[in-house]
Amino acid sequence: MEDYVLETKNLSKSFKKQIIFESVSLSLERGKAYGFVGHNGSGKSILFKILSGLLSPDNGEIKIFGKILGKEIDFPPNTGIIIETPQFLEDYSGIKNLRYLAAIQNKITDTTIKSTLERVGLEPENRQPVKKYSLGMKQKLGIAQAIMESPNLLILDEPFNGLDKTSVQKIRSLLLELKKNGVTILLTSHIQKDIELICDEVFEFNEKKLEKVSVTER
């Protein structure tokens, strides 16, 4: 078994002549939650897109579960991902969207899909098309999609967007439960309390570098 779920060495990313970040090195362990903070545009979402295989770094190496991303694997295996606003087939219901996505790997049953919807606070029998969902409902559906196949790694960019107070508490409890069960979580949130309650370690983008800070320090 690998010592670390995810490792990066000297990652850097620029767009044209603008440096987004440089020399990002991480060693992230199983069953811990890691918060990533910084002002808007500091590089959090770009880093998460790179770790998800959606963008390539200019330099550096990423290992996920011991495999080199971009060489040995194209996308991280056993990983649930939310990047920006989750996208779904707008004319289909939530459960139909999840059934469609689950059919790609055919790893889970319909019972699991329904129970996952309930875990995030959605009604499995709701046949309303996603285009009629509120922002919060779409966000819950995105979280359901990310966790339904029991991933070992979660990469969550602002998963609490659009959620009401009750839903935020429900999802926080869910993430803490997943962490307790050995899931590694990478999380961005503009709400300090999310970071404090969930994360074991916190990294902050500062002057194009990623620095480890105290969980309560910002």
What residues contact residue 31 under an 8 Å CB cut-off, 6+ apart? 179, 180, 181, 182, 183, 184
- Give Rg (Cα) of the chain: 17
One-letter amino acid of 113? I
Q: Take residue 197 and report the two structure tokens written for it.
A: 């309650």
The DSSP-derived string for 88-105 is --TTSBHHHHHHHHHHHH
Q: Which CATH number fits domain 1-78+152-218: 3.40.47.10, 3.40.50.300, 3.40.50.10490, 1.10.1740.10?
A: 3.40.50.300
**Domain extent listing, the chain:** 1-78+152-218, 87-150
CB environment 163-198: b (16+ within 10 A), e (fewer): beeebbebbbebbeebbeeebbbbbbbeeeebbebb
- Local structure of residue 69 (DSSP, 8 states): B
Question: How long a stretch of residues is the chain?
Answer: 218
Sheet with 184-188, strands from edge to edge, namely 79-82, 153-157, 184-188, 33-37, 201-206, 209-213
Reading the chain (218 residues) residue by residue, the pLDDT tens digits are 457 999 999 999 999 889 999 999 999 999 999 999 998 888 999 999 999 999 999 999 999 999 999 999 999 999 999 998 788 999 999 999 999 999 999 999 999 999 999 999 999 999 999 999 999 999 999 999 999 999 999 999 999 999 999 999 999 999 999 999 999 999 999 999 999 999 999 999 998 999 999 876 54
